[in-house]
Structure 1
Amino acid sequence: MSQKKPTESQQQPIKSQPTFFPFGFSVGKLDDDIVIIDFVDLVDRESGKLTVISSFALTPQKAQELARALTEKDE
């Protein structure tokens, strides 16, 4: 049985330039003092090269506050 080719609306969007709306993010740690959060865009789909479009650093305490705020449920 042959598989159907995905329609245009089912295909993953392709970006040719970085945009304000990132495809993802990464979290890293620099020593034990700084947490780095990078927002990344996938520009070159063939090589998988990621382009960081924004990055910020947090102290461990601020990173914990951010994590709590993101996981907090509204009542």
Structure 2
Amino acid sequence: MAQDNFAAFHIEKACAAIVDNSRYNKTYSNAISLLANVATDYMRKIATKAYALTEIAGDNETTVEHVLMAK
């Protein structure tokens, strides 16, 4: 759960950097890159949770809510 909060914090910071610095091309590119990296890592963790829950449940009916609430 702490990792999810960490990822959400950095996604928020990256979005703020994009909004605040969009007129600076290099900063904008760096913020987009950071956002993409953090979001990709966050989605990979959610996919890993979904796979684990599906294996435990023995079916393919794992919902997004179950994945996001998993610890």
TM-score higher than 0.5: no
Q: Which has the higher helix share?
A: 2
Larger radius of gyration: 1
TM-score by length of 1: 0.22
Q: Which has the higher strand share?
A: 1
TM-score by length of 2: 0.23
Higher relative contact order (CA 8 A, sep 6+): 2
